Every structure is written in structure tokens, then in C-alpha cells.
Amino acid sequence: MLGSTAGLAASPADADVALLGARQIGNSGIDSLSLQADGNVLIDSSLSLARQLIINSPSISAPVTATLSAPFVELGNSATSGGPAVVPSPSGGNGI
């Protein structure tokens, strides 16, 4: 998820990648979003929704400070194939 996808070309259908823009999601009026991925979900921007945000993926990464907010936020991994999931310990930032 990027801050904005304005001016970017759409991903090819066979690329197995989707680019979502937080600005475009916010401007669309969407109040609930559920993302399902078999690989990594990269969060490169903050996102605030009025109702809920669900991300179901074996890996979620944020190389920048990003805030995900909604009355209901769920981060999980429902994958049942492959080896056991490795769940890293969450760590807080310094607020800067």
C-alpha cells in the first residue's frame, strides 16, 4: 500500500501484485477493507478507515512509520499449508 497510486501504471494481471493507494482508498468512501495475500503485504503509508481493516497475510512489513486505524483492525495469518508461521514479537517505536 502506497501513499498514492496517481500516475502509476496498473500492475499486469499475471504479476501477482496489487498496488493500493491510501489516498485513493480514502477518497473512494470505502469504510471497510479486507486484504488477503499469500505473500507479503508491504505498508508504505498510513491508512484510516471508518469501520474496519483486516489484513490476512503470512507477512506484513512496513519500512516506514505507518499508522493503520479503524474501530476494528485485525492482522492475522490463516494460512494452513507449509511450515509453521513465525510470529515476530511486536515492538514499539519512539513516537518520532
Number of domains the chain contains: 1
Note whether residue 30 is domain-resident: yes
Tell whether 57 is covered by a domain: yes
For 23-48, the pLDDT digits (tens) are: 777 778 889 988 888 888 888 888 88
Query: Per the domain annotation, does 17 fall within a domain?
Result: no
Confidence of residue 1 (pLDDT cuts 50, 70, 90): low
- pLDDT over 70 (residue 96): no
pLDDT at 13: 66
- Is 29 part of a structural domain of the chain? yes
Asked if the structure places residue 67 within a domain, the reply is yes
Residue 47 lies in a domain: yes
The answer as to whether 1 is a domain residue is no
Q: Is 28 left (phi over 0), alpha (psi -120 to 50) or beta?
A: alpha
Domain extent, residue 29, equals 22-76
Predicted TM-score (pTM) of the model is 0.67
Q: What is the pLDDT of residue 15?
A: 65
65 domain-assigned: yes
